Amino acid sequence: MQVVTLTGDGAAYGMGLSATSGAIERNLDFLYICYDNEGYGNTGQQYSDATPHAARTAISRGMMGFPGYKKPLFDIWAAHRPAYVATVIGAEPLDLARKIEKAKKLKGPRLIIALSPCPTGWDFDPRESVAIGKLAVKSGIWPLKEYVDGEVVHTKPPRKRVPVEEYLQKQGRFAHLFQPQRNETLLAEIQGRVDAYWEGIP
């Protein structure tokens, strides 16, 4: 029997993490798929432990947006030394399919984190879903990577990263960073965190 768990980021990053940690420690054989739309979508898009810094949500509506930072779920799982961890996005279907096939062939705890652009929660036209997904990868804000055999490998590093604001501008949840005037401080902070991540990659 194959055990597959399908859950959202609210459970995967937050309220279900302790139980999942116990299952990983016991080396149980299961595939855990996280549908990550970066908020509690079923209850009006409140912030979750996966919400990015400065995003506006139903309960973080000030001019600075969400004050916290997205929890590094990939790193938390990898610290347990499971069989496999990977990030995917539907806008890059070949990378996604390859990782699903790879995960299916392995035994033990396996995690797939799928960033899922949400027209309702992120406030954009559904026709922009693929474009926003591609920009998440091209800007470097959503690294496509996998952990296997104790190593992290980036499966599709952006050859030339586009500015993060190209990704942010397409989403109403970040509109306050650009109107009525640009918040240069927050934009620089977000870009700086992305730059620091990629500069740390050998």
CATH code (residue 85) = 3.40.50.970
Total-model pTM: 0.95
Helix, coil or strand: residue 24: helix
pLDDT given at position 201: 84
Contact 19, 31 (CB under 8 A): no
Within 10 A of 168 (CB to CB), how many other CB atoms are there?
24
Q: Range of 162's domain?
A: 4-199
Helix, coil or strand: residue 192: helix
Percent of the chain with pLDDT over 70: 100
* pLDDT tens sequence across 102-117: 999 999 999 999 999 9
The number of folded domains in the chain is 1
* pLDDT tens sequence across 71-89: 999 999 999 999 999 999 9
* pLDDT tens sequence across 40-68: 988 889 999 999 999 999 999 888 999 99
pLDDT given at position 61: 83
Whether 1 shows a pLDDT value over 90: the answer reads: no
Rounded-to-integer distance, Cα 52 and Cα 176, Å: 14
Place of tokens 């902070």: 189
